[in-house]
Structure 1
Amino acid sequence: MPVTARTLVSQLAAQPDGPVSVAGWVETVRDQKKVQFVILRDETGAVQLVTPATRELAEDAPAEGPGSAAALALTEAISALGHGSFVRVTGELKHDERVKLGGLEVKIGSLEVVSEALETPIAADSSLDKRLDWRFLDLRHPKQNLIFRVQTTFLHALRNVWVEKGFIEIQTPKLMASASESRAELFQLEYFEGVAYLAQSPQFFKQMAQSAGFGGIFEVGPAFRADPSFTSRHATEFTSIDSELSWIDSHEDVMALHEELLVAGFQAVADKHGDEIRELFDVEVTVPARPFPRIPLAEAKRLVAERGYTVPRADADIDPEGERQISAYVRETYGHEFVFLTDYDSSIRPFYHMRREGDPSITDSYDLIFNGVEISTGAQREHRIDVLEAQARDKGLEPEELSFYLDFFRYGVPPHGGFGMGLARVLMLLLGESSIRETTYLFRGPTRLLP
């Protein structure tokens, strides 16, 4: 009976020997004198295809069999296959432990070239920029494919936590009438008869949901920064993971949620992809223990100085080298990959971060550092309208310019807080990659708008 339904490569091991249909792209052709091998890869894995090679056709050859015209045509078609061509194959599945690739192979009965491919313009040793130019080809590599299966598993685990807690998923607008937090690093664009801005974060709208009585909310969506940086961890468009929740007692409640989410995400990735990550990235996924270490910013700077590095500005945030140094300290002292830096000075935090009762020079906020790189900022927000207006003025902002935002607080809002976290940075550090360009589906930076 002819087989028409396509079977994914990952499903073949569970299939009995017999007729099967597979489809994907040609990764390798080994065209030997008496036998031909094709490595076919689809979105789930690779399988070996095999057929006898028939290059001479006798005039009196039977209509079927190894010397037939059909067999010769198949031989010639396989010889002509180009790397990357998409094909559909029907044949006989056979389990054979001698086959190195998965312990099974498919004997080709028929082969249809669905789409021929030109010679590939990239190789495994191509530069990152070259691979990004041809990203759709680069993503065919099993290592690149795994990145986005890991991403899917990670986000699904986070969503499970949020949904089980009764959080609401929202989608906030990315076109803004005014700056979301400040006018720095904003993209401005024409908008009918006026101008609009691309949102730097969903911050204000996350807080609006608290005033609306939503309680816990989350969003996974794009954010935009007109930042001319060319570092390995910056992008002009990135995916932000955001959450906000009501009725908190302090930023410790936000950190507790943050920990729970990351532990669930890392556990899911380790369970589902741990072996593949070990094979392709040479990385052991470590599920972080709770609670994560917490170090006040001033103490972190002191600890870094004791290691021989002084953060350039005493009145500023810790810099990238400082982040690396404090992470090294935490690994050595606590055996942990994460650390919360807390107690940030109000002078270097936004006006809406709550200031410490009894010491307004400090905010109830944190940065989360993972393996030497900051991945998130979180805080308890200021919900008292009079205090919020005063803090805005203290930052040189006019409350009138923030009227739409401040209105959220004039009609009652519970104590609340939340965080924003960069998805590509988490994946980069989880998989031991050197740049978020590797862990972003299509990277956008100051000089890259294609593909």
Structure 2
Amino acid sequence: MSERVLVQQLKSLPAGPVSVSGWVETVRDQKKVQFVVLRDETGAVQLVNPATRPSEEAGDQDATALALTETIGGLANGTFLTVHGELKHDDRVKLGGVEIKIGVLEIAAAANPETPIAADSGLDKRMDWRFIDLRQRRNNLIFRIQTTLEHAMRTYWVERDYIEIHSPKLMSTPAEGNAELFALEYFGDQTAYLAQSPQHFKQMAQAAGFGKVFEIGDVFRADPSFTSRHATEFTSIDAEISWIDSYEDVAAMQEELLAAAFRAVKEKHGDEIAALFDVEVVVPSLPFPRIPLAEAREIVKARGYDIPRTDGDLDPEGERQISAHVREAFGHQFVFITDYHPEIRPFYHMRDDETGLTKSYDLLFNGTEITTGAQREHRIDVLEAQALEKGLSLEGLAHYLDFFRFGVPPHGGFGMGLARVLMLMLGESSIREVTYLFRGPTRLAP
């Protein structure tokens, strides 16, 4: 028997013996011929078998052919199998211009005939059976895009001599207060907390003299939110750099990073994204527009929307409105909203001496916030004062504050939600669609 080949390789192979493996997507069992659409991780191919039906003159029939016809007729969607057969090139075959005449069919694992989800099943039902839901070509593509996106970002950073770190996800103290933190029993009578951000550990790398670091890893938020863009566990893309003069240095790095990542996705998957998602991937032009928060609020108000929040920030509809303005005025999908008030920012964001506003930004993409970035406060006395102002315990922050007692360069960075980027890039309505296995307040399985 020949070695297994992938479906995407069939077009380039000569006619002749071939072996493919995958799962059954559909079976058409006609009187004189049987068709099976077999899908693997790279695509789908049509398998064909001239049907041999039982007759009164059974002695004249090929028992092997009869058995094969019966086996194909009983195949359930989702059955995993291997087929050894003859590859034929035929432009009339809509599925890739090739088909395989079945010689030998080997079932690796038969599926139950009753599939628990259908094409019109709701999102929650599909999440219950996510491993079946992910077999769709469209869903398979999402995670190929994710792989390309992450690889492109890593390539950008590695080529610029960044160091990749893997920070711990168990913390001894609720670093930024107890809000949105999962607490769990640790050894002895200790309490540990799941990290809601690698923020403090990224900053430790600056104190360690690493200069430029990045991390792509899980973070946890004990946020009982049921919106389309929140999760209790998600993948965060983080970077931190030393010797900056302004948060603008961070923003400039991030927009270059995103342009490089989008370019890689467009080049590798653009046509398939257009076909399956009806979306054109646009590589963003540089620089991205920048709008101070106070000005953004005025623009939103002028568009006829009064932001109900009393803390001075934008709400989701405000984000959509300012993004609509940016599309109309600048023809851009991205916008940096800058100059946030300290009341709505963490204690470690540096503040401008003249305005008192933080040297920080949010990055919006297609109407939704995907990033918070900032220059950090590196002066220990100012940092302690800002922590106390926020009602935080210096004792609880002791390990973090120690970084700054022994010297830290001026630095800054950002954190960005991977699922949100994918959701907005592909025009999906929920991060659950672009998350391998979603975790939310009511979902811990599968």
Structures share a fold, TM > 0.5? yes
**Greater mean deviation of Cα atoms: 178-187 or 124-133:** 178-187
The one-letter code sitting in structure 1 at the alignment partner of 2:24 is V
Asked whether the 8 Å contact 2:24–2:36 carries over to 1, the reply is yes
Q: Do residues 32 (structure 1) and 30 (structure 2) align? A: yes
- Secondary structure of 1:437's aligned partner: helix
Structure 2 match to 1:21: 19
SS in 2 for 1:362: coil
Tell me by how many angstroms 1:338 deviates: 0.5
State how far apart, in whole Å, the 1-side matches of 2:311 and 2:232 are: 27
**2:174/2:396 contact within 8 Å kept:** no
SS of corresponding position for 1:143: helix
- 1:69 and 2:53 correspond: no
What letter matches 2:17 in structure 1? P
Which amino acid in the other structure matches residue 334 of structure 2?
F
Distance 1:86 1:395 in 2: 57
Which runs of 5 or more residues in structure 1 are unaligned?
A: 62-66
For residue 357 of structure 1, report the CA deviation from its aligned partner: 2.9
1:287 aligned residue:
283
Q: Give the counterpart letter for 2:373 in structure 1.
A: G
How many angstroms apart in 1 are the aligned matches of 2:315 and 2:393?
30
Q: Deviations over 1:379-419 (max 9, x none)?
A: 00011111111111222223222110011011111111000
CA distance in 2, matches of 1:7, 1:406: 56
Structure 2 unmatched ranges of 5 or more: none
| 3-state SS of paired residue (1:400) | coil
Q: State the match for 1:164 in structure 2.
A: 159
Match of 2:94 in 1: 100
Cα shift at 1:314:
4.7
Q: Alpha-carbon deviation of 1:29?
A: 0.6
User: 2: distance between equivalents of 1:358 and 1:297?
Assistant: 16
Deviation at 1:425, TM superposition (A): 0.5
Tell me the equivalent position of 1:64.
none
TM-score by length of 1: 0.97
User: 1:129 maps to what in 2?
Assistant: 124
Distance 1:26 1:253 in 2: 52
Contact 1:188 1:198 in 2 (8 A): yes
Residues 175, 397 of structure 2: 8 Å contact kept: no
1: CA distance, partners of 2:288 / 2:180:
31
Cα drift, residue 183 of structure 1: 1.3
Cα distance change on mapping 1:396 and 1:268 into 2, 3 Å: same
Q: CA contact under 8 A between 1:270 and 1:285: conserved in structure 2? A: yes
Q: Which residue of 2 aligns with 1:206?
A: 202
Distance 1:172 1:180 in 2: 14
Deviation at 1:180, TM superposition (A): 2.9
Distance, in Å, in 2 between the alignment partners of 1:428 and 1:221 is 18
Deviation of 1:56 after TM superposition, in Å, equals: 2.9
Give the superposition deviation at 1:60.
4.4
- Residue 142 of structure 1, CA deviation: 0.8
Partner amino acid for 1:344? Y
Which amino acid is the alignment partner of residue 254 of structure 2?
Answer: H
Percent same amino acid at aligned positions?
Answer: 71
Q: What TM-score, normalized to structure 2?
A: 0.98
Q: Post-superposition shift, 1:89?
A: 0.2
Q: In structure 1, how many angstroms separate the alpha carbons of the residues matched to 2:58 and 2:298?
A: 88
* Cα distance in 1 between the residues matched to 2:392 and 2:228: 32
Deviation at 1:329, TM superposition (A): 0.4
Match of 1:41 among 39, 49, 52: 39
Q: Give the match's secondary structure for 1:154.
A: helix
Shift of 1:176: 0.6
- The answer for the alignment partner of 1:241 in structure 2 is 237
**Contact 1:9 1:47 (8 Å CA) reproduced:** yes
Deviations 1:161-199 (A, max 9, x none): 010011111111111111132210111111122211110
Q: Which residue of 2 aligns with 1:89?
A: 83
Count of residues in Structure 1 that have an aligned counterpart in Structure 2? 443
In structure 1, distance between residues paired with 2:441 and 2:394 = 33
Q: Would you say the 8 A contact 2:177–2:392 is kept in 1?
A: no
Alignment RMSD, CA only? 1.0
Equivalence for 2:424: 429
Question: Counterparts of 2:403 and 2:118 in 1: how far apart (Å)?
Answer: 54
> For the Cα contact (< 8 Å) 1:180–1:200, is it kept in 2?
no
Is the aligned partner of 1:420 residue 2:415? Answer: yes
Q: Deviations along 1:268-306, whole A, 9 cap, x unmatched?
A: 111111111111111111111110000000000000000
The answer (yes or no) to whether the contact 1:180–1:201 under 8 Å persists in 2 is no
Query: Could you tell me whether the CA contact under 8 Å between 2:175 and 2:396 is conserved in 1?
Result: no
Corresponding residue of 1:54: 52
Partner of 2:346: 350
Cα deviation for residue 132 of structure 1 reads: 0.1
Q: 1:395 aligns with which of 378, 390, 393?
A: 390
> Aligned letter for 1:99?
V
**Cα deviation, residue 59, structure 1:** 4.3
Give the AA of the match of 1:85: T
1:357 maps to amino acid? D
Give the counterpart letter for 2:403 in structure 1. Answer: F
Alpha-carbon distance in structure 1 between the residues aligned to 2:309 and 2:295: 15
Q: 2:143 aligns with which of 140, 148, 154?
A: 148
Q: Quick one: distance in 1 between partners of 2:397 and 2:227?
A: 32
3-state SS, counterpart of residue 54 of structure 1: coil
1:18 deviates by: 0.9
Q: Which residue of 1 aligns with 2:186?
A: 191
Aligned partner of 1:278 in structure 2 is 274
